[in-house]
Amino acid sequence: MLPESQEERPALGSPHAKERHGTIAELSNVTKSYPASGEEVHALNGVSLSIESGEIVALVGRSGSGKTTLLNLLGTLDRPTSGSVRIQGIETQDLAEEALLTLRRQTIGFVFQFFHLFPHLTALENAALPLWLAGRGGPDATVRARELLAAVGLDAKADRPAGQLSGGEMQRVAVARALAMSPALVLADEPTGNLDQANAETVLALLTRLSREEGASLVIATHSEAAAAVADRRVHLADGRVTRIA
Amino acid sequence: MGGLRSLVETLGLRPLRRHVGRTLLTLLGVSAGVAVTIGIDLAARASIRSFSEAARDVAGPARLRVHHRPLALPESLLHRLAPFEDRASLHPVLEAAARADSANGTPFTILGVDVVGDPRIANRATLDAASAGGAGANAGANLADPLAAARRLFDPDLLYVPAPFAARIAPRSDSLDVVVGTRSYRFRVVRFEPSGAVSPPSAGIAFLDLAPFQERFGRLGELDWIDVEPYPGTDPASLRAAIAGTLSGDLTVEAPEERALALERMLSSYRRNLRALSLVSLVVGMLLAYNALLASVLQRRDEISLLRALGASRRLVLLLIGIEGILVGIAGGLLGVALGRGLAVGALALVSRTIGDLYARSTPAPIALDAGAWAVGVGLGVASAAVAAFGPLRQALRVRPLEFARAGHFDAPEPRFPVRRLLLAAAAAGTALWLIAHPDGFVPGLKIWGYVGAGAALLAGSLVALPAFTLLVRLARPLLARVWAPAGRLAVATALASRRRLGVSVAALLLAYSIVWGMASLVESFRATVDEWAGATLRADLWVTPQSRAGSPAEGTMPAAWRARLAALPGVADVDAFRVREISIGKDLCFLGAGETAILARNGFLPLVGGGDAGPILERMPGRRTLMVSEPLARRQGLRTGGRLALDTPSGRREYEIAAVYRDYSSDRGYAVMDRSVYLADFGDSLVSTYALYAAPGASREQVGAAAARALGPNELIRVTDTRAIREEVRRVMRRTFAVTDALEIVAAIVALLSVLGTLAALVLERTREIGVLRAIGAARIQIVRALLLEGVLLALAGLLLGALTGSLLSAVLVHVLNRESFGWTLTLATPWARTLLLAAILFVAALLAALPPARRAAGIAPREAMSRG
């Protein structure tokens, strides 16, 4: 059961919230092409965009407009064909794989449409996973993961395998996981796309509130008007180009 | 129908091409099992066929045979049978074991027959060739002088050899030295084309005219048997009854195939054991196929779910998924037979050698791949694929419509404590333990309990594989989390999630290792027991045997007069003249032995079944109609100390009291041994098969051996063997005997390792997105590799630990139940620790190596896989 209102949930402690200023991510004239059936397909074409600290940005557009490709580039999951992607001032194009991994681990959190939890791990373990991967396996990690689960209202289900949770609960665990390392940037790909309206609202509210409390910038790729409505800015994409920023 | 066809083409067949690696792995699993089963069977069949074909070739086309085995028939019997010559033709035969060229040459059989009338040899071309000048002459040469031609025909130096066999033993020369007994004889070879009666080119038979045979080989006035070939229109059954009515009670008239059948019966245990062992490869291969098919179902779960949502019936799902199993079964069966043929060529030499060592001379026939073998191969392929597909298909049928919305790769939840599975495992282990304690089984006399026990032991292990693996992973969790976190935590979590899949690989590894353990223990038990037995019983220092002997201890004889010459040699303390003859007891072919039991009692040690030395019993045997019977014969015939056994002797059937049952590992055919004095009195045969020489204290074996060879003269082709060499030969025979089982163990182990590789590779494929997520949220490649390798470690550890436990149970079954049932020997269970631990280490490393390619593939998964939808 979800708590009655968002206010009842504990706020995250200030020690994890980081003071951040300026531009967190910056894309300059980025193109991304893929070979498909012998032809080059331009998924992104000359996109320039900057994400400021603490800002919530919605990427909107039809399927195939380039939202996910843009998220991949922001998340350093992929490299641009040309142009520049800078995360916290660091040019990612020139970074070696291991450096990119460290940057991603320390700076970026992800929320996926299909949750992508590890169903056999408990909710707590899922939330602690990024900490483990960063070499923080001790009690601190457990405390932090438990704190995040409490923040998303799942402290009572912390020890339950993720596979046994409902869709909304799974996505709340995913939010907790995304914030575990106190990232500067949270990237959410259709975070409510697989949820009913009530759960979608809850998850969206949690995502925005906790991102703000953590001082993280949030980029949401979405079709949903409701999701786009929570953003400070909306970036409209069509055919791999930014058509409008509102 | 068109829609169904499109569905089958797109959803049934296309995945086979799309996932070519998985398809190949399933194919490999099925075909490996079929190949081993068919290969070993083909090799065994070829070896045994040569054996029984030789018996049938010796028999020729005759429908009946009159014999007095093991005794010779008097030639005068031909006159007594003369009244039957208007209803049948009679063909007297003598038989001798020979070697071509030298003492180590090709062994073969010489039959003494009437070269003009015997159907095995007589045909126009042969006779023309011989009468026209014998060797090298052209068939149909000018016969100007009939008398000279007849003289040449009966020339005592002519040996008639079927051309295919002559090409082997005398490829270039027309002259051939032949060793029979202890003498060498020179013959001129007459090649002839076999015409039906002597059919296979492998048949190692040559023919000599009856009279020169009797003269040269000291068989004047004797025949070994008379073949009776009824004329057309004569009823063989009534003729058999009529002949039997005129024979004295101890002569036998029977169909010649009965000897071939007896030979085949003698080999049946060996063949059955080989077949059982090869079936294990089939099971391990099935596990590999099971894993690959399960991977297929799990990968296609979304697709199945969607199909169900779109209205596909369960039957259609069954067809679309099952078609993979059917096609792979057929293709695996065909491929398996083709591979099996290649395997059979390799195994043939091993199997033939073993049969030659343990049973009788065997020249392997060529591997024959007939339609039956293809049918059996395809049948086995389809059957094993069907069994392997059963679980995955059940899984597929459980997929509910629209389940894909929440799909994950993870296994269905298992009960925390699988009571039914564990109860079944306990029952199987209990059955195996009960049989170890009661080797005669639930119904004594049925020769199945060894297999039941072995199957129960393996079943128990397989059933425990999954819960034990789960337990091991849970137990290892704190350690792994502490030492190798986060890879350790990940490995534990993913291993638990995929425990059912991994459990199958654990079972495959467990089966392979337990078989290796069980077989190695059986071999070690044989080695240790036989070593101890040979050390205790083979007390003579030197053994004198005819050089012509190639397999059976009954082959080749030496005169009794040599005993005095050997006993008189300086340095010789005692000589035991031992005679061995092949006899039939009931339908069993076994050996009758006659030795100087007092000498054996004085010098040797013969362990009794149940403990103790047979010495005091042996001392009492001279002059008394008593027998000692070896353990295998006693078990097969149900003979006990104090019981009686009737044997045919030239003076009629005699009864002998069984004085004791002794332990003997020299032949699973078994021995009945009497004192030489009794044998001489009852059988009137003074020939000797082996002289055992006991050296005087301080005498040099080498000098005594050289003196023995000198004393018997250069013309006597004898072999003087040191006991140490005999013991070494016993060990060599044992190594050769088990070489084929070594090969089968290796195949089982390779298939099991492929199963490990296949499982981990399939899991990596299924976890692509999951690994992508891990990479996206910060997992380094090395962490992914480490986690997967740790899963491999957990899998290998569980498989090997359980394999050792199951192997211990299996080895006890093999030693105490199966061996006793098949061969009749009592063995002391021994475990070759060094070998089994070394094999465990090799399998462990191999399992980790098998985990490496999937781990490397996992490390290569791009983080953007996390963003793939659905």
Chain A residues near residue B408 by CB distance under 8 angstroms: 119, 163
For residue B479, list chain A residues with Cβ-Cβ distance below 8 A. Answer: none
Burial of B131 (0-12, 13-18, 19+ CB in 10 A): buried
**At residue B383, does pLDDT exceed 80?**
yes
The mean pLDDT of chain B is 79
Is B192 within 8 Å of B129 (Cβ atoms)? yes
Instruction: Indicate yes or no: CB of B770 within 8 angstroms of CB of A105.
Output: no
Could you tell me the two tokens for B310?
Answer: 């779109």
Residue B870 reports pLDDT greater than 50: no
Q: What confidence category does residue B56 fall into, taking pLDDT thresholds of 50, 70 and 90? A: low
Confidence of residue B472 (pLDDT cuts 50, 70, 90): very high
pLDDT at residue B711 tops 70: yes
Residue of A nearest to B870 (CA): A114
Q: Is the dihedral of CA B51, B57, B63, B67 positive or negative?
A: negative
Whether pLDDT at B639 is above 60: yes
- Out of A74-88, A154-168, B445-459, B503-517, pick the least confident: B503-517
Task: Judge if B100 and B207 occupy the same domain.
Answer: yes
Nearest to A75 among B405, B769, B776 (CB): B776
Interchain CB distance below 8 Å, B408 and A125: no
Q: Which residues of B touch A114 (CB under 8 A)?
A: 869-870
| Fold classified for A53-79+95-245 | Rossmann fold (3.40.50)
pLDDT of residue B593: 92
pLDDT at position A25 is: 94
Domain boundary among B384, B403, B422: B403
Tokens (6 digits) for B553: 């201890």
pLDDT score of B636: 83
Say yes or no to pLDDT of A90 above 80.
yes
Q: Does B493 touch chain A (CB under 8 A)?
A: yes
Which chain B residues touch A125 with a CB distance below 8 Å?
489, 493
Confidence of residue B405 (pLDDT cuts 50, 70, 90): very low
Instruction: Supply the pTM of this predicted model.
Output: 0.69
CB B792 within 8 A of CB B760: yes
Overall average pLDDT of the B305-324 stretch: 73
Q: In one letter, which amino acid is A197?
A: Q
Q: Does residue B449 sit in the same domain as residue B378?
A: no
pLDDT for residue B196 = 53
> Which pLDDT does position A188 carry in this prediction?
92
Give the per-residue pLDDT at A154: 93
Q: Which residue of B has its CA nearest to A109?
A: B777
Mean pLDDT of the B670-699 span: 90
Answer yes or no: is B626 within a domain. yes
B410 to chain A, any CB pair closer than 8 A? The answer is yes
pLDDT at residue B404 greater than cutoff 50: no
Look at residue B144 in the predicted model and tell me its pLDDT: 55
Confidence of residue A242 (pLDDT cuts 50, 70, 90): very high
Distance CA B173, CA B302 (A): 75
- Is B485 in contact with A132 (Cβ distance < 8 A)? yes
Q: Which of A110, A125, A163 sits opposite B776 (nearest CB)?
A: A110
The residues on A that touch B, with CB distances below 8 Å, are: 68, 71-72, 75-78, 97-98, 101, 104-105, 109-110, 112-114, 116, 118-121, 125, 129-130, 132-135, 137, 163, 167, 177, 181, 189, 194
Is the ipTM, as predicted for this complex, more than 0.90? no
User: Using one digit for the tens of pLDDT, what is the confidence trace for B162-216?
Assistant: 887 888 888 777 888 888 877 888 898 888 776 655 444 445 788 888 888 988 8
Residue from A106, A114, A175 whose CB has the most chain B CBs within 10 Å, to mutate: A114
Helix (H) or strand (E) holding B109: strand B107-113
Please give the pLDDT value at position B141: 44
pLDDT value at residue B432: 95
Which residue in B490, B769, B777 is closest to A130 by CB distance? B777
Per-residue pLDDT at A136 exceeds 90:
no
What percentage of chain B carries pLDDT values higher than 70?
81
The pLDDT value given to residue B139 = 41
Do B673 and B751 lie in a common domain? no
Instruction: Assess whether pLDDT exceeds 80 at residue B305.
Output: no
Return residues 494-533 of B near A (CB < 8 Å): 494, 496-497
Nearest to B866 by CA among B772, B760, B729: B772
Same domain, B778 and B650: no
Q: Is A140 exposed, middle or buried (0-12, 13-18, 19+ CB in 10 A)?
A: exposed
pLDDT at B677 over 90: yes
State residue B3's pLDDT score.
61
8 Å CB contact of A113 and B869:
yes
Identify all chain B residues contacting A43, using CB atoms and an 8 Å cutoff.
Answer: none
Phi and psi angles of residue A28, each rounded to the nearest 5 degrees, phi first: -120, 115
Chain B positions touching A109 (Cβ under 8 A) are: 777
Q: Minimal Cα–Cα distance from B863 to chain A, Å?
A: 5
Q: What is the pLDDT of residue B123?
A: 61
The Cα B450–Cα B631 span in angstroms is 18
Query: For B401-405, B413-417, B432-436, which range has the lowest pLDDT when averaged over its residues?
Result: B401-405
What local confidence, expressed as pLDDT, does residue A4 receive?
38
pLDDT given for residue B70 in this prediction: 64
Residues B823 and B855 in one domain: yes
Per residue in B120-153, pLDDT (tens digit) is 776 655 666 665 555 444 444 444 566 666 666 6
- Selected for mutation to probe chain B from A118, A169, A187 (highest B CB count within 10 Å) is A118
Residues of chain A found within 8 Å of residue B410, distances taken between Cβ atoms: 119-120, 163
Coil, strand, or helix at residue B795? helix
Distance from CA of A154 to the nearest CA of B (A): 20
Report angle CA B762, B765, B767 to the nearest 5 degrees.
Answer: 110
Q: Where are the beta strands (DSSP E) in B500-608?
A: 542-546, 572-585, 588-595
| CB pair distance less than 8 Å for A77 and B778 | no
For chain A, the structural domain boundaries read: 53-79+95-245
Residue B240: predicted pLDDT: 80
One domain, residues B744 and B678: no
Q: Helix, strand or coil for residue A67?
A: helix
The answer to whether residues B437 and B524 belong to one domain is yes
Residue B470 in contact with partner chain A when CB distance is under 8 A: no
Question: Is residue A31 scored above 90 in pLDDT?
Answer: yes
Least confident stretch, B131-140, B152-161, B682-691? B131-140
Is residue B639 in some structural domain? yes
Among A232-241, B481-490, B594-603, the minimum mean pLDDT is found in: B481-490
B522 and B561 together in one domain: no
| Whether residue B63 has pLDDT greater than 70 | no
Which chain B residue has the Cα nearest residue A110?
B777
Residue B461's domain comprises 414-539+727-870
The H or E element that residue B215 is part of is helix B210-216
Taking the Cβ of residue B780 and every Cβ of chain A, the question of whether any pair is shorter than 8 Å is answered with yes
Integer CA distances (angstroms), B580 to B94, B545, B591, B708, B870, in order: 18, 12, 6, 21, 80
Q: Is B414 on the interface with A (CB under 8 A)?
A: no
How close, in Å, is residue B416 to chain A by CA atoms? 14
Q: Quick check: is B216 in a domain?
A: yes
pLDDT at B496 over 70: yes
Instruction: State the total domains in chain B.
Output: 4
Split at pLDDT 50, 70, 90, the class of B523 is: confident
Most confident of A32-36, B116-120, B694-698: B694-698
Task: Tell me the per-residue pLDDT of B811-867, one tens digit each, with 9 for 90 and over.
Answer: 999 889 988 887 777 888 999 899 889 888 988 888 888 788 888 888 888 777 666
> Is B866 in Cβ contact with A77 (below 8 Å)?
yes
How confident is the model over A209-226, as pLDDT tens digits?
Answer: 988 888 899 999 998 888
Across the interface, which of A71, A104, A113 has its CB nearest the CB of B778? A104
**CB–CB contact B486 A133 (8 Å):** yes
Boundary residue ending a domain (B649, B681, B716): B716
* B774 interfaces chain A, CB cutoff of 8 Å: yes
- Is B409 within a domain? no
Number of Cβ pairs < 8 A linking chain A and chain B = 85
Contacts of A76 in chain B (CB under 8 A): 863
Q: Is A137's CB within 8 Å of B489's CB?
A: yes
Among candidate residues B235, B255, B275, the one where a domain is terminated: B255
Instruction: Name the pLDDT band for B579 (thresholds 50, 70, 90).
Output: very high
Q: What is the pLDDT of residue A81?
A: 92
d(CA B725, CA A196): 86
pLDDT at position A49 over 90: yes
Between B604 and A159, whose confidence is greater? A159
Task: Identify which of B74, B27, B107 has the alpha carbon closest to the alpha carbon of residue B555.
Answer: B107
**Mutation test of the interface with chain B: which of A72, A79, A98, A129, choosing the one with the most B Cβ atoms within 10 A?**
A129
Q: Which of B28-37, B62-71, B472-481, B744-753 has the lowest mean pLDDT?
A: B62-71
The full length of chain A comes to: 246
Of B770, B382, B178, the closest CA to residue A162 belongs to: B770
Nearest CA distance, A68 vs chain B (angstrom): 7
Please report, rounded to a whole number, the percentage of residues in chain B having pLDDT higher than 90: 13
Instruction: Search chain B and give the residue with CA nearest A98.
Output: B780
Residue B732: the pLDDT is: 73
One domain for residues B354 and B373: yes
Mean of pLDDT over chain A: 85
User: Are A77 and B863 inside 8 Å of each other by CB?
Assistant: yes
Across B759-775, average pLDDT? 76
Residues of B in contact with A71 (CB under 8 A): 867
Highest mean pLDDT among B9-13, B233-237, B593-597: B593-597
B209 occurs within a structural domain: yes
Chain A residues near residue B492 by CB distance under 8 angstroms: none
Report the pLDDT value the prediction gives residue B578, as an integer from 0 to 100.
Answer: 92
Instruction: Give the separation between CA B303 and CA B310, rounded to whole angstroms.
Output: 10
Q: Quote the minimal CA–CA distance from A36 to chain B in Å.
A: 17
Task: Out of B131-140, B236-245, B317-326, B575-584, pick the least confident.
Answer: B131-140
The whole-angstrom distance between B784's CA and the closest CA on chain A is 10
In a domain, B722, yes or no: no
